Amino acid sequence: MTTRNFVRPLFSDKGEKQMQKNDVVKVTIEDIGVNGEGIGKIDGYTLFIKDAVIGDVVEAKIMKAKKNYGYARMIQIIEPSKDRVEPKCKFARQCGGCQIQQISYEKQLEFKNRKVLGNLERIGGFSPKLLEKIADPIVGMEIPFHYRNKAQFPFGKDKNGVTVTGFYAGRTHDIIANTDCALGVEQNQEILETILSFMEQYQMEPYDEKTRKGLLRHVLIRYGFTTKEIMVCLVINAKKIPHCEKLVELLQKIEGMTSITISVNQKNTNVIMGDSYEVLWGQAFITDYIGEIKYQISPLSFFQVNPVQTEKLYGLALEYADLKGDETVWDLYCGIGTISLFLAQNAKQVYGVEIIPQAIEDARKNAQINGIENAKFYVGKAEEVLPGYYADYAKAHPGEQAHADVIVVDPPRKGCEESLLETMVQMQPERIVYVSCDSATLARDLKYLCGNGYELVKVRAVDQFSQTVHVESIVLLSRK
């Protein structure tokens, strides 16, 4: 443990205390950062400390020191916060999956709600008074564990050469051996231990990222919360699995097993899945429900990982859309049609747009399965398809403009491109429902929309990912 070097100046010109790497400090945690790290200050100098909770008094060692802020590693908790709880998972601190499991669930919800509203105020420029008026309370979970219907487990070897699976430690590719994740379903453990046992019996090697040798890279598991159907997809660094029939025989005995597939990925990449998959046993998909809509889910499908909260989120989307039955609706970034088919129940016509061809294929199948005939899907980038449609409509109907009554957007973290927002404004929908997984880009896009004829009417955060720093949000905009 290194003490401060007092030869250097302790204070900057502004009177703020300066810190150096390896300094050991005592600090009270006053806030949480966007990645769940505790934030404390020493005479104006800000420190970010992983695993610390608001209210904790901690001793920490500075690992990286910038001029006005630094990053520190917690050595010990001198005085625990009243909001600190014992994590359900013993690997929570090491694992990169749960950043805030050590914080009480009530405080997690408070942090996430503040994060969304803070971004809308700071980036979007919306006044605290307006946000207080239009924001509804965050939608939390009754049981904030074992909610994930999908998990992807890497396989590798530990320091003793034993084959393990689990999750990566934070910011590394070191596997924390754990077959019983507190966020996943209990069925995962039996599946993983069956595969580990098979690998040991047949001396099957896991993939090694350094040498690019070994067979099994990842195992993808999907579970239908309503149907209880299970999918296992083995991602391999070869064309086939030796003694494959024995592994299939073991896996198909597990109750609920519906689909066993392989996906070949022999590339030197961090991308988990290969470009395609092959059925070893059963179907190429499982089915599950959100509300009354049935969905087919393949290994490559995008499907929300928390079905309990997704039903609440899509219920809000339907409520905000306020459909009467005669509306034309565009659903941008529609995935496998999850929101589109929800909306189609109450709309005249729904158009969905998604860049991934397989997802659109799934969306069309899902519409057919549910007997929905008023949903049409386009493959392509939303920022190209919608402006293209708008331009083509104007050419085909001189003097007229393409119109949408409601537009729903659910973009990736990067948000919407300005060209797409511009076309949305030109189509003059009465209402825009924006579902977001990143409140910072949401705030940026809302600033554009509200500067071009729309007003923010409703805001609500939804906890789709409890025990993590991530939060979903949904807003309603109305044309002025």
The pLDDT of residue 4 is above 70? no
If asked whether residues 245 and 321 sit together in one domain, one would say no
If asked whether residues 359 and 453 sit together in one domain, one would say yes
Weakest-pLDDT range from 231-235, 302-306, 474-478 = 302-306
**For 333-336, which contacts have Cβ atoms below 8 Å and span 24 or more sequence positions?**
333/382, 333/409, 333/410, 333/411, 333/412, 334/359, 334/363, 334/377, 334/410, 335/301, 335/302, 335/303, 335/359, 335/363, 335/410, 336/295, 336/296, 336/297, 336/301, 336/302, 336/303, 336/362, 336/363, 336/366
The pLDDT of residue 281 is above 90? yes
| DSSP string for residues in 390-427 | HHHHHHHSTT-----SEEEE---TT---HHHHHHHHHT
35-80 tens-digit pLDDT: 889 999 998 999 999 999 999 999 999 999 999 999 999 999 999 9
The pLDDT of residue 373 is above 60? yes
Number of residues that make up the chain: 480
Q: Any known ligand binding at 208?
A: no
Q: In this structure, how many other beta carbons lie within 10 angstroms of the beta carbon of residue 477?
A: 23
If asked whether residues 265 and 358 sit together in one domain, one would say no
Average pLDDT, the chain: 94
Q: Is residue 10 part of a domain?
A: no
Q: Is residue 121 part of a domain?
A: yes
44, two tokens: 């104006």
Average pLDDT on 299-310 reads 92
Q: Is residue 8 part of a domain?
A: no
Quick one: pLDDT at residue 50?
92
What CATH number does residue 258 fall under? 2.40.50.1070
Weakest-pLDDT range from 95-99, 217-221, 231-235, 445-449 = 95-99
User: Of 34, 49, 79, which closes a domain?
Assistant: 79
Residue whose structure tokens are 């030109």: 426
If asked whether residues 433 and 315 sit together in one domain, one would say yes
Which residues are marked as active site?
Answer: 437
Q: Is residue 258 part of a domain?
A: yes
Q: Any known ligand binding at 410?
A: yes
Instruction: For residue 225, name the pLDDT band (cuts at 50, 70, 90).
Output: very high
Q: Kindly list the distances between the CA atom of residue 132 and the CA atoms of 431, 441, 458, 473, in Å, as whole numbers in the listed order.
A: 21, 20, 10, 15
User: Of 233, 261, 290, which closes a domain?
Assistant: 290
If asked whether residues 213 and 164 sit together in one domain, one would say yes
If asked whether residues 269 and 181 sit together in one domain, one would say yes
Q: Any known ligand binding at 106?
A: no
Q: Any known ligand binding at 180?
A: no
The answer to whether residues 300 and 461 touch, using CB atoms and an 8 Å cutoff, is: no
382-396 tens-digit pLDDT: 999 999 999 999 999
206-224 tens-digit pLDDT: 999 999 999 999 999 999 9
Quick one: pLDDT at residue 252?
97
Task: State the amino acid at position 363 in one-letter form.
Answer: A
Q: Is residue 230 part of a domain?
A: yes
Average pLDDT on 451-460 reads 98
If asked whether residues 172 and 280 sit together in one domain, one would say yes
Task: State the amino acid at position 421 in one-letter form.
Answer: L
416, two tokens: 């919407």
Give Cα 358 distance to the centre of its chain.
Answer: 20
Quick one: pLDDT at residue 1?
41
Instruction: For residue 432, name the pLDDT band (cuts at 50, 70, 90).
Output: very high
177-191 tens-digit pLDDT: 999 999 999 999 999
If asked whether residues 328 and 250 sit together in one domain, one would say no
The DSSP call for residue 270 is S
Instruction: Return the bridge partners of 157, or none.
Output: 163
If asked whether residues 211 and 255 sit together in one domain, one would say yes
If asked whether residues 101 and 184 sit together in one domain, one would say no
The answer to whether residues 431 and 406 touch, using CB atoms and an 8 Å cutoff, is: yes
The pLDDT of residue 352 is above 80? yes
Q: Is residue 299 part of a domain?
A: no
What CATH number does residue 316 fall under? 3.40.50.150
What's this model's pTM, rounded to 2 decimal places?
A: 0.91
> What is the C-alpha separation between 157 and 107, in angstroms, rounded?
37
The pLDDT of residue 329 is above 80? yes
Starting at the edge strand found earlier in the chain, the sheet holding 406-409 runs 375-379, 349-354, 328-332, 406-409, 431-436, 472-479, 454-462
If we measure between CA atoms, which residue out of 117, 108, 118, 116 comes closest to residue 140? 108
User: Of 33, 51, 79, which closes a domain?
Assistant: 79
Q: Is residue 423 part of a domain?
A: yes
Quick one: pLDDT at residue 18?
72
Instruction: For residue 33, name the pLDDT band (cuts at 50, 70, 90).
Output: confident
Q: Is residue 5 part of a domain?
A: no
> In the chain, how many domains are there?
3
Task: State the amino acid at position 333 in one-letter form.
Answer: Y
If asked whether residues 317 and 463 sit together in one domain, one would say yes
Quick one: pLDDT at residue 35?
82
Share of the chain above pLDDT 90, in %: 89
What CATH number does residue 61 fall under? 2.40.50.140
Domain that holds residue 107: 85-147+306-394+401-479
If asked whether residues 318 and 467 sit together in one domain, one would say yes
